[in-house]
């Protein structure tokens, strides 16, 4: 029997996510109708249903102790080493949404000057929604992808028409906005509305693979609902914005694909991959 009286996949997920503070009470009937642990796991909708969480691919437990240490290490890094960007200084929902849309497949260094010009030219969402396509295209041109202004315009006009010009503060509503996927929606919830949600982009996924041994059962990891449950459980109850900013910074500048900077990484003490790599190089 796992945490909260639940021993199906949901209970295992709660344990992986750090205990009862992670995922809440199991909503499924498998715990009541199956008598064996294996039966409960196989009957659980997280495994047999549309989510199809592959519990066996998670090679290293995400224990509360390890998550707690991760929080401390990331918190120390955040206190002294966060990168400075204009969208982190002032975090209105509109500014955060603009930044996250621009950062899709584009580096922060390239986005920074364009972001500042954009919010000066279009200081509010309604102004951006009413802008002519040529005006949007001119400001966004340095980012490349010549169709980007059309995507932006659809997003602005959708919010203006359906949410009275205010960026939604609910995940289900944000996911209906054109060009907004799970990561962008959660970034808005975290950075603009200070909600406790985890973030998962390719860089953070690589970091979690190396630190915790988490491997998604799906080729497109961002479609793995079970993985999103885990990153939500890892997110701290307080200071979640600084935590996610720091995790993004560490993942993109230190825990890089080739030749990661393990000796400089603040997470080396909890990262089995990093310790094995350094030990092998010694």
Conformation bin of residue 234: beta by default, left when phi > 0, alpha when psi is -120 to 50: alpha
Query: DSSP secondary-structure letter at 197?
Result: -
Give the CATH number of domain 64-83+197-281; options: 2.60.40.60, 1.25.40.340, 1.10.1760.20, 1.10.1670.10.
1.10.1670.10
Q: Give 118-139 pLDDT, tens digit per residue.
A: 999 999 999 999 999 999 999 9
* Furthest C-alpha separation in the chain: 64
pLDDT of 103? 96
**233 vs 14: CA distance, rounded Å:** 8
Nearest-CA neighbor of 230 among 255, 253, 208, 263?
Answer: 208
Report the SS3 class of residue 155: helix
Percentage of the chain beyond pLDDT 90 is 70
Q: Is 196 exposed, middle or buried (0-12, 13-18, 19+ CB in 10 A)?
A: middle
Q: Give 232-247 pLDDT, tens digit per residue.
A: 999 999 999 999 999 9
Q: In this predicted structure, which of 76-80, 135-139, 141-145, 268-272 has the lowest mean pLDDT?
A: 141-145
**Domain coordinates of the chain in residue numbers?**
3-53, 64-83+197-281, 92-191
**65 vs 82: CA distance, rounded Å:** 24
| pTM of the shown model | 0.79
Percentage of the chain beyond pLDDT 70 is 78
The CATH homologous superfamily for domain 92-191 is Hypothetical protein; domain 2 (1.10.340.30)
Q: What is the DSSP string of 255-274?
A: S-SSS--GGG-TTGGG-HHH
Residue 208 contacts residue 214 (beta carbons within 8 Å): yes
């Amino acid at each position: 029997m796992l945490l909260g009286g639940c021993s199906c996949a949901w209970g295992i997920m709660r344990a992986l996510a750090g205990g009862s503070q992670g995922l809440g009470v199991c909503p499924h009937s498998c715990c009541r109708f199956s008598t064996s642990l294996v039966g409960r796991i196989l009957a659980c909708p997280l495994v047999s249903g549309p989510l199809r969480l592959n519990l066996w691919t998670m090679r290293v437990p995400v224990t509360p102790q390890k998550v707690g240490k991760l929080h401390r290490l990331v918190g120390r890094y955040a206190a002294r080493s966060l990168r400075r960007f204009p969208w982190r200084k002032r975090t209105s929902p509109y500014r955060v949404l603009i930044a996250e849309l621009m950062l899709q497949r584009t580096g922060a260094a390239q986005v920074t000057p364009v972001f500042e010009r954009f919010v000066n030219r279009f200081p509010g969402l309604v102004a951006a929604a009413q802008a002519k396509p040529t005006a949007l295209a001119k400001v966004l041109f340095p980012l490349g992808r010549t169709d980007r202004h059309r995507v932006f315009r659809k997003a602005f006009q959708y919010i203006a028409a359906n949410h009275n010009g205010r960026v939604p503060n609910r995940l289900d509503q944000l996911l209906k906005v054109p060009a907004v996927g799970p990561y962008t929606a959660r970034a808005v919830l975290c950075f603009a509305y200070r909600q406790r949600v985890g973030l998962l982009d390719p860089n953070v996924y690589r970091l979690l693979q190396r630190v915790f041994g988490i491997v998604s059962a799906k080729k497109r990891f961002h479609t793995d609902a079970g993985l999103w449950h885990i990153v939500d459980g890892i997110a701290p109850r307080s200071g979640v914005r600084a935590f996610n900013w720091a995790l993004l910074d560490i993942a993109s500048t230190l825990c890089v694909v080739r030749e990661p900077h393990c000796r400089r990484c603040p997470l080396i003490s909890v990262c089995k991959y990093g310790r094995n790599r350094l030990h092998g190089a010694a």
